[in-house]
Structure 1
Amino acid sequence: MADTPNASGEPGELYLDAAATEPVSPAVIEAMTPFLTEAYANPASVHQPGKTAARALDAARASFAAALGTRPDDVIFTSGGTESDNLAVKGIAMARMRKLGLRPVYGLDETDGKQLASSRPRIIISAIEHPAVAQSAAWLHEWFGCEVVRIPVDAQAHLDLDALERELDGEASERTTIVSTMLANNEVGTVEPVEELVRIAHAHGVPIHVDAVQAAGQIPIRFRDWDVDALSVSGHKFGTPKGLGALLVRGRTPIEPVLSGGGQERGLRSGTQNVAGAVALAIGLNESNARMQAQYRELVASRDMLIDAVLRVVPRAELTGDPVRRLPGHASFVFPGVTGEALLVDLDARGIAASSGSACAIGRHEIPATLLAMGLEPSIAKSALRMTFRRPLAREQIERVSLALEESYAGLTRR
């Protein structure tokens, strides 16, 4: 998080968009470099340089697995959270369709819909899923005729557990291929009750995938203890280069690959393995976990100070998401009477980088979908602003942000 004086002596940029991406850690760069320059061999090669690369890959996998509370053979390295989500949702759904004897059902209409619906494969996701999950479910609907069921959320973005129970009750569970839900919401920071979600899904014999892209490195992940079937992470959220990620998947979980090739990564993610990338994931996650353990209370305290300061200087602002069960460095609001886009532009001119919600939608200036699912009116939801950070904010930084927001909001509402 940069906040250093510029050439004129004024404060530099204050980066409050860590949920979109983090800078690459110097330790990660140092650890990666040998595998980009000297130990660059293909880990599948049988010669000594190849064996050296393979040993590094194995060590990185073991370290990465331990940091997420799982075993090395559960780790499938991918190109990031989007690929991991696609592999989990599509791969598990297709494998379960085969296992359950469910055939694709196309072109349901009023005359045959009722008859065919009883054999239609189902996918359950939450109403606030990232596009990587939601669009994977939509793809399965388009190409396999799967019914996509969306579980609603409450005003704080918590999943409706009773609704999930109802959707899995009776014969419906026999047609449900997967439940997929995020662990922590990217737009409002709410943390979901993952153990309860797992309990409900498994009570009905349905595997569950958890999108932990926003959570890894920020809150503890206990994959095996939670008994999750599959879990996605993305490295650039905890200090690695972009284009790195992983899917944790239990050996018991039926899953089909979505890429065909040489059979690397248990045959689930073919392609020459990125040894330097695997090392980066291991180092970055361990570094983030260590920082989390050392600074968690301070980070939460500075988050709450920031929230209090913003609500004090802009009384019309409202906090979005759960005020307590949320990510430690995540503060999100709506500012009635202005647009989030206008606030972002004004804050950027004042040297403060924030966002309006999901980084995947900012370029299109879309209203945050999570806020609509939480019941906010579109006119309110479009005023969303998100500030995210991985290290505690100093009091001076909080004062700088609150003053900038106060002046920006007042100026925009006078126009």
Structure 2
Amino acid sequence: MATKIYMDNAATTPVRDEVLNTVIPYFKEYYGNASSVYSIAKESKKALEKAREQVAKGIGAKTDEIFFTAGGSESDNMALRGVAEALKGKGNHIITTKIEHHAILHTCEYLEKQGYEVTYLSVDEFGKISLDELEKSIRPETILISVMFANNEIGTIQPVAEIGKLAREKGVLFHTDAVQAVGHVLVDVEEMKIDLLSLSGHKLGAPKGVGAIYIRKGVPVQPLIFGGAQEKRKRAGTENIPGIVGLGKAVELAVADMEAETKRLVELRDKLISEILAKVPESRLNGHPTDRLPGNCNISFAYIEGESMLLLLDAMGIAASSGSACTSGSLDPSHVLMAIGLPHEIAHGSLRLTLDRINTPEDVEYVLNKVPDVVQKLREMSPLYEEVMNKKV
């Protein structure tokens, strides 16, 4: 069956119609290289700077603090590797968390091989860090704290403003991976004392392959990519003008209707959570019950395996994702679910449903009608579930 209900918006979102209409002319009419001097190139340059203003306004930054990249992963790499290289004479210690996106974790692993030391903060059962543990982890040689704004799997929002305040007091730079947050919750880099921030276009209705990094003025960052003088020599390469235009428009639109959209999504999300938990025995919510992204619903079911659940839901026209990493070629469960204390067998049976502006109350009703049946069907096929049920008889 073709997909009827798309609830994997944390993975990617469809390009918004308004964004697509804004982008098309930069493929066909205004295709000039923004670094050239003739008229058609000047249109590209003008569009580039307008998008920079739109992104900056969306996160409370100054226009000249925004640098465009190919996406969130590049921005994360640039933040960590760029700061580490720039400040290697000052210190070699970085602090992050156990539940970061792999763009952060794998970069930290790379830096450890280069002689840097990394502290991985634990999280509580809801996925939140301890500010006390963070403070105790800061050393004289600590150069960077990198804590994601909101988790991509369980939706938990970290105390970003408090982290920023602590980092600023200690004289340590603070980076946040805000790929899931920008356009969905309020982000203000000045008020929250954020020094570096990563964001990505395809998480909020812009095309794939475009992102940005905010670098507070004066923060030293070595570039990853060398070549031309684009992006004030921070990121070489001919600018992806259509993608950048789309990112700017998407941020502008998302921020403009954030308040109303958040209220709508929270109502739909809470209905999903409460009714699934009520209808399916031995299920549990993953992530913080209230400090979570408006559209995030992550629930674990005992005695079943996530990949089988996704396949059955897909056959019913529902696109979702799982806490099990088997679909990516690994038998290991999600590192995020393990970090919040779930045992392997429960982590493997997790379902993530993520809502966005494309989702309706009818979508939610359809999913609520199908998920309990899918879980029950899989449990009836599970030897473990049968064994547990026999013991209860």
TM-score (norm 1): 0.88
SS of the residue corresponding to residue 214 of structure 2 reads strand
SS of the residue corresponding to residue 85 of structure 1 reads helix
Matched, 1:138 2:109: yes
- What's 1:248 paired with? 214
SS of the residue corresponding to residue 232 of structure 2 reads coil
Q: How many angstroms apart in 2 are the aligned matches of 1:247 and 1:334?
A: 34
Matched, 1:33 2:24: yes
- What's 2:333 paired with? 367
Unaligned runs of 5+ in 2: 382-393
**Equivalence map 1:74-89=2 (5 Å):** 74-89=65-80
The Cα of 1:231 is off from its aligned counterpart by 0.2
- What's 2:158 paired with? 192
**Equivalence map 1:25-104=2 (5 Å):** 25-98=16-89, 100=90, 102=91
Matched, 1:158 2:95: no
Q: How many angstroms apart in 2 are the aligned matches of 1:390 and 1:340?
A: 22
- What's 2:228 paired with? 262
Q: How many angstroms apart in 2 are the aligned matches of 1:177 and 1:16?
A: 38
Matched-pair contact (CA < 8 Å) for 2:126–2:287: yes
Q: How many angstroms apart in 2 are the aligned matches of 1:181 and 1:210?
A: 5
Aligned residues: 380
Matched-pair contact (CA < 8 Å) for 1:128–1:370: yes
Q: In structure 2, do the counterparts of structure 1 residues 97 and 345 end up closer, same or farther at CA, with 3 Å as the change threshold?
A: same
The Cα of 1:361 is off from its aligned counterpart by 7.4
Matched-pair contact (CA < 8 Å) for 1:299–1:392: no
Question: Which of 312, 327, 336 is the aligned partner of 1:346?
Answer: 312
Residue-by-residue CA offset, 1:324-347 (whole Å, 9 max, x unaligned): 010001100100100111111111
Question: Which of 105, 124, 148 is the aligned partner of 2:95?
Answer: 124
SS of the residue corresponding to residue 153 of structure 1 reads coil
Q: How many angstroms apart in 2 are the aligned matches of 1:411 and 1:340?
A: 13
Matched-pair contact (CA < 8 Å) for 1:181–1:210: yes
- What's 1:204 paired with? 170
**Equivalence map 1:180-329=2 (5 Å):** 180-329=146-295
Matched-pair contact (CA < 8 Å) for 1:232–1:247: yes
Q: How many angstroms apart in 2 are the aligned matches of 1:81 and 1:146?
A: 23
The Cα of 1:395 is off from its aligned counterpart by 4.1
Matched-pair contact (CA < 8 Å) for 1:22–1:236: yes
Matched-pair contact (CA < 8 Å) for 1:187–1:357: yes
- In structure 2, what residue type is equivalent to 1:133? I
- What's 2:386 paired with? none
- What's 1:177 paired with? 143
- What's 2:391 paired with? none
Q: How many angstroms apart in 2 are the aligned matches of 1:62 and 1:214?
A: 20
The Cα of 1:245 is off from its aligned counterpart by 0.2
SS of the residue corresponding to residue 282 of structure 1 reads helix
SS of the residue corresponding to residue 36 of structure 1 reads helix
- What's 2:389 paired with? none
Q: What is the alpha-carbon root mean square deviation over aligned residues?
A: 1.7
Matched-pair contact (CA < 8 Å) for 1:32–1:279: yes
- What's 1:111 paired with? none
Q: How many angstroms apart in 1 are the aligned matches of 2:319 and 2:65?
A: 37
Q: In structure 2, do the counterparts of structure 1 residues 84 and 362 end up closer, same or farther at CA, with 3 Å as the change threshold?
A: farther
The Cα of 1:357 is off from its aligned counterpart by 4.0
- In structure 2, what residue type is equivalent to 1:323? P
Matched-pair contact (CA < 8 Å) for 1:302–1:392: no
Q: How many angstroms apart in 2 are the aligned matches of 1:78 and 1:384?
A: 32
Q: How many angstroms apart in 2 are the aligned matches of 1:193 and 1:272?
A: 37
Where does structure 1 differ by over 6 angstroms across 4 or more consecutive aligned residues?
none
- In structure 2, what residue type is equivalent to 1:64? V
Residue-by-residue CA offset, 1:360-383 (whole Å, 9 max, x unaligned): 874225411111111111111111
The Cα of 1:398 is off from its aligned counterpart by 2.5
- In structure 1, what residue type is equivalent to 2:278? R
Q: How many angstroms apart in 2 are the aligned matches of 1:64 and 1:393?
A: 25
